[in-house]
């Protein structure tokens, strides 16, 4: 069914039918936050955390209200984004630490997760073939330096990265990786998961002095992203900026933390729920997001200063819902917005994420769309915009017509599929969302039009819908050697 549908919809993707920009191929910038909840941006209802630049981006462009991440956790979500295949078909379907390589949690020489295979068809590779300069500055999680998953081997001409997701648990790492080579940073080595000593005074700022450094990774990544734009301003480019925040640990430079001094009632976080302690965890979390917001603004400002705004599509989103450990207070910030759940769950709060798009010559300002889209749609959208050839057999559908305000030409999904942790599965088809937490569990069914917060399981009232969704849970999944369904992580 999926392949036949793609063949029918293929004319909507190909540049010969007028969807691509045939006069000027747009620059493409995709900024990805890490663990940013649907409700943690002002444009999506946040009131305690300041995000003025993202709010302005939404005011100048298009805000999506029904956009979904590729997964409820980091690596598989990024795999879906870069390959256009959902987690029922993607190679990476979970966070896989490959323990057979050794003690990955305690051997600092072992960096990186299961790599993308050589020859994987990625968004970067397709854009490179279309004549684009391709760059990445941020967290990778899809292979270590020199592996088949090294970004240079997956279509990126240049990268500066925290390649390993475990290394990204510390925002003051000892090094980054640039095009396969280590780049030392001026930071001391310390373990990314520590508790405050029992004899330490949690109210004393000096007790936390050992959990920071001088080179904040996001600052370095932002500078590299800005340099990439300057270097390629005279040719079409694709820039992927997967930031590391607000993923814990709670760490942020003092100037940003000062912006929230005294803003909230605080209980010091001692590190007893993982990651690193912090004296003012709420302020730190808010400051991390606001600093990222500032850096997104710097990137937008540079595009404007260079006169590239009209021919640059900028998209901002998040890889999954908000965290619940490491000192994060998602209830206080209402991080999931009106939705149930959080990161590592397939309820809406774990997978529905903000997405904002700005393209000043194409997108009318101040628009909102309820078009249902997902990470697998980014590849066909960007490749079509670039005038490249969109591969057949993808799970994604281009949302370029929606960006252009041509809703009548927009293809829609019959089904969206997710799986997580080799147990959870979920499907959305139309108004219906079905999920189960393991293959032997009963299906939970929710009517998202009437109940977007997934408060009432209506499976018993709609047996015919349950049967349809159970069939989709089976048909939308291909076997996986590394991620067999039903086995615990």
The structure's pTM equals 0.94
Give pLDDT tens digits for 240-265: 999 999 999 999 999 999 999 999 99
Q: Nearest-CA neighbor of 51 among 59, 61, 41?
A: 41
Mean of pLDDT values over 352-360: 98
Query: What does the DSSP 8-state code read for residue 336?
Result: T
Q: What DSSP string describes 64-132?
A: ESSEE-S-SSHHHHHHHHHHS--TTT-S--S----GGGS-TTT-TT----SPPPTT---HHHHHHHTT-
What's the pLDDT at 108? 79
What's the pLDDT at 104? 78
Give pLDDT tens digits for 76-121: 999 999 999 999 999 999 999 887 788 877 787 889 999 999 999 9
What's the pLDDT at 57? 98
Mean of pLDDT values over 466-486: 97
Exposed/middle/buried for residue 23 (C-beta within 10 Å: 0-12, 13-18, 19+): exposed
* pLDDT at position 9 over 70: no
Mean of pLDDT values over 6-21: 38
Phi, psi of 95, deg, nearest 5: -80, 105
Q: Nearest-CA neighbor of 139 among 115, 153, 160?
A: 160
Give pLDDT tens digits for 410-430: 999 999 999 999 999 999 999
The neighbour count for residue 308, using CB atoms within 10 Å, is 19
* pLDDT at position 22 over 70: no
Query: For all residues of the chain together, what is the average pLDDT?
Result: 94
d(CA 196, CA 192): 12
Mean of pLDDT values over 67-76: 98
What's the pLDDT at 188? 95
| % residues pLDDT > 70 (the chain) | 95
Give pLDDT tens digits for 155-212: 999 999 999 999 999 999 999 999 999 999 999 999 999 999 999 999 999 999 999 9
* The residue to which tokens 């630490």 are assigned: 97
Phi, psi of 6, deg, nearest 5: -65, -40
Mean pLDDT lowest among 4-8, 282-286, 377-381, 432-436: 4-8
What's the pLDDT at 457? 98
* pLDDT at position 381 over 60: yes
Kindly list the domain boundaries of the chain, sorted by start residue.
Answer: 2-413, 421-489
d(CA 239, CA 250): 27
What's the pLDDT at 489? 39
* pLDDT at position 2 over 70: no
* pLDDT at position 8 over 80: no
Phi, psi of 223, deg, nearest 5: -60, -40
What's the pLDDT at 21? 44
Contact 163, 112 (CB under 8 A): yes
The neighbour count for residue 83, using CB atoms within 10 Å, is 28
Domain 421-489: CATH class, spelled out: alpha beta
* pLDDT at position 10 over 70: no
CATH code for 2-413? 3.40.720.10
Give pLDDT tens digits for 435-461: 999 999 999 999 999 999 999 999 999
Bond from prior residue into 246 cis (ω within 30 degrees of 0): yes
- C-alpha to C-alpha distances, 310 to 32, 306, 314, 356, 366, nearest whole angstrom: 21, 11, 11, 16, 16
Exposed/middle/buried for residue 390 (C-beta within 10 Å: 0-12, 13-18, 19+): buried
Give pLDDT tens digits for 109-132: 889 999 999 999 999 999 999 999
Q: Which two tokens stand for residue 59?
A: 């005011």
* pLDDT at position 3 over 70: no
Give pLDDT tens digits for 308-331: 999 999 999 999 999 999 999 999
* pLDDT at position 14 over 80: no
- C-alpha to C-alpha distances, 44 to 66, 291, 315, nearest whole angstrom: 12, 18, 15
What's the pLDDT at 487? 59
Sign of CA dihedral 270, 272, 276, 278: negative
């Amino acid at each position: 069914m999926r392949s036949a549908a793609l063949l029918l919809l293929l004319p909507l993707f190909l540049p010969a039918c007028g969807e691509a920009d045939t006069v000027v191929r747009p620059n493409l910038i995709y900024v990805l936050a890490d663990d940013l909840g649907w409700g943690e941006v002002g444009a999506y209802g946040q009131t305690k955390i300041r995000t003025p630049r993202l709010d302005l981006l939404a005011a100048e462009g298009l805000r999506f209200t029904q956009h979904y991440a590729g997964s409820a956790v980091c690596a598989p979500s990024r795999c879906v984004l870069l390959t256009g295949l959902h987690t029922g078909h993607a190679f990476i379907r979970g966070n896989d630490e490959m323990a057979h390589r050794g003690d990955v949690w305690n051997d600092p020489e072992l960096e990186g997760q299961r790599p993308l295979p050589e020859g994987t068809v990625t968004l970067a590779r397709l854009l490179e073939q279309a004549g684009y300069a391709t760059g990445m500055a941020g967290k990778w999680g899809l292979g270590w330096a020199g592996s088949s998953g090294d970004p240079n081997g997956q279509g990126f001409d240049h990268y500066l990265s925290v390649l390993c997701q475990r290394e990204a648990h510390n925002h003051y790492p000892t090094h980054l990786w640039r095009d396969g080579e280590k780049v030392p940073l001026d930071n001391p080595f310390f373990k990314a998961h520590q508790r405050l000593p029992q004899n330490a005074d949690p109210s004393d700022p000096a007790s936390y002095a050992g959990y920071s450094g001088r080179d904040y990774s996001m600052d370095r990544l932002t500078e590299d992203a800005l340099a990439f734009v300057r270097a390629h301003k005279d040719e079409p480019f694709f820039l992927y900026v997967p930031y590391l925040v607000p993923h814990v640990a709670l760490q942020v430079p003092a100037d940003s933390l000062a912006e929230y001094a005294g803003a909230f009632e605080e209980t010091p976080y001692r590190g007893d729920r993982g990651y690193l302690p912090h004296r003012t965890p709420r302020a730190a979390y808010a400051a991390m997001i606001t600093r990222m917001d500032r850096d997104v603004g710097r990137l937008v400002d540079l595009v404007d200063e260079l006169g590239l705004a009209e021919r640059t599509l900028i998209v901002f989103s998040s890889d999954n819902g908000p965290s619940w450990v490491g000192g994060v207070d998602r209830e206080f910030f209402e991080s999931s917005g009106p939705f149930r759940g959080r990161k590592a769950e397939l309820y809406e709060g774990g997978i529905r994420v903000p997405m904002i798009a700005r393209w000043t010559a194409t997108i009318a300002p101040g628009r909102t769309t309820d078009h249902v889209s997902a990470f697998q749609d980014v590849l066909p959208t960007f490749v079509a915009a670039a005038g490249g050839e969109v591969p057949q057999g993808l799970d994604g559908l281009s949302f370029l017509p929606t960006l252009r305000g041509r809703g009548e030409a927009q293809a829609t999904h019959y089904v969206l599929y997710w799986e997580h942790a080799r147990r959870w599965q979920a499907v959305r088809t139309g108004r219906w969302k079905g999920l189960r937490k393991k293959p032997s569990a009963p299906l939970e069914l929710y009517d998202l039009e009437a109940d977007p917060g997934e408060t009432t399981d209506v499976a018993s009232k709609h047996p015919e819908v349950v049967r349809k969704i159970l069939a989709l849970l089976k048909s939308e999944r291909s076997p996986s050697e590394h991620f067999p369904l039903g086995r615990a992580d």
